[in-house]
Amino acid sequence: MLTLCVHRQLAEFTLEIDVTCAYPVTAIFGPSGCGKTTLLNLISGLMRPDSGQISIDDTILFHAEKGIDLPPEKRRIGHVFQDDLLFPHLTVRQNLLYGYQFLAPSKRKFHPDAIIDLLELNTLLDRLPNLLSGGERQRVALGRAILTSPRLLIMDEPLTALDQELKDRIMPYLRHIRTDLGIPMLYVSHAIGEILQLTGQVIVLNRGQVLAHGDFFSIAHQPKILPLLETHGFENVLPVEVIASNRVQYNNQILHIPPCDRRSGTHIFIGIRANDIILSRQRPAGLSIRNALSGRILDIVETHGRRLVYIDVGKRLAAEVTPEAIEELALKIGDSVICLIKTHAIRIGPDVS
């Protein structure tokens, strides 16, 4: 369990964090420049808080009043940086063993061979980092951090520099680390889709402050959180059950989805963008749209010049509608509406874990 209570003055704002991360994987979500990287540097000891304390389980890493400030090399925090920061003059094998060699044998929890297998690095061991692809480099960085048997693995947007295809290929390794190695993780990202593949526990950070902390689905629709998610390409995310290769079930309503290879009975997330949802008063006839979810309007708000209508369909959905449409349909809070969604506007997300 990571306990953070830190205060640090930055150029643009003050970082003030007071949270406890009790879950194996906690994600920190926030726009760029919100203080995420600083927070990780405070945890790994690369920066010093102005005041406060940081502890993991019963080990105090930093305590301003007691004058405790463990240097980075004594903290045993595996820090995976956004740029992998592999040592360019060392081979993959030497990079992997760099931290491992400093560790007393009794503290070594993982065997290098096991981690090399897990991350499929066997064929790369004698290469220098400049001959690796982006995804390979990030896997080596990951292995290097894991082999120090860290108390906590902190990852600073490890996938941001990679393209989507590579992200999809690295994600299973991260899930392996979470599930098989049992290292607690703090995962920083500004991509909700990425986070939800690892955990539902999210800390939302903006300008150095914790806006919310908890289960993503229970905090995502808070008025101060949603605009933040919205401006970062947030999609409505629904947990659904696959019932056929192109159909899922959500709260007794059937949705048609693009063909996918998940087995029936699997629980997955699907994503729908707010501006891909059409609102209608009645269930329409003679339309090609296959998906119609009925619900009740919870709220109509304006954020960043966009009108968003929140509809309770079991979970809350956000739909973006023009002011004219709201007027023409005379949409009010409490009204029943039908949400129409094109099949191909639905994105297949990760498994519900």
Partner 1 sequence: MIFPTPEEYTVLFLSLKVGLLCVVVSLPFAVLLGWVLARKNFRGKLILDGLCHLPLVLPPVVVGYLLLLLLGRRGFLGQILSDWFGMQIAFTWRGAVLAAAVVGFPLMLRAVRLAIESVDPRLERAARTLGANPLRAFFSITLRLATPGVLVGSLLAFARSLGEFGATITFVSNIAGETRTLPLAIFTYINQPDGEAAAARLVLLSIILSLGALIASEAIARKMKN
Contacting positions for partner 1 (CB under 8 A): 44-46, 71-73, 75-79, 81, 83, 85, 87-89, 98-99, 102-103, 144-145, 148
Q: Which of residues 28 and 317 has its CB atom nearest to partner 1 in the complex?
A: 28
| Structural contact between residues 293 and 215, judged by C-beta atoms closer than 8 angstroms | no
Q: Which of residues 85 and 162 has its CB atom nearest to partner 1 in the complex?
A: 85
Least spacing, CB of residue 37 vs partner 1, in Å: 11
Start-to-end C-alpha separation, the chain: 21
Least spacing, CB of residue 70 vs partner 1, in Å: 11
Least spacing, CB of residue 88 vs partner 1, in Å: 7
Least spacing, CB of residue 43 vs partner 1, in Å: 10
Sheet containing strand 247-250, strands side by side: 253-256, 247-250, 235-244, 267-273, 346-351
- Compute the C-alpha angle 137/34/141, nearest 5°: 15
Sign of CA dihedral 125, 131, 137, 139: negative
d(CA 342, CA 276) in angstroms, rounded, equals 8
Residue 251 CB neighbours (<10 A): 11
Q: Which of residues 81 and 216 has its CB atom nearest to partner 1 in the complex?
A: 81
Least spacing, CB of residue 46 vs partner 1, in Å: 5
Q: Which helix (H) or strand (E) holds 280?
A: strand 277-280
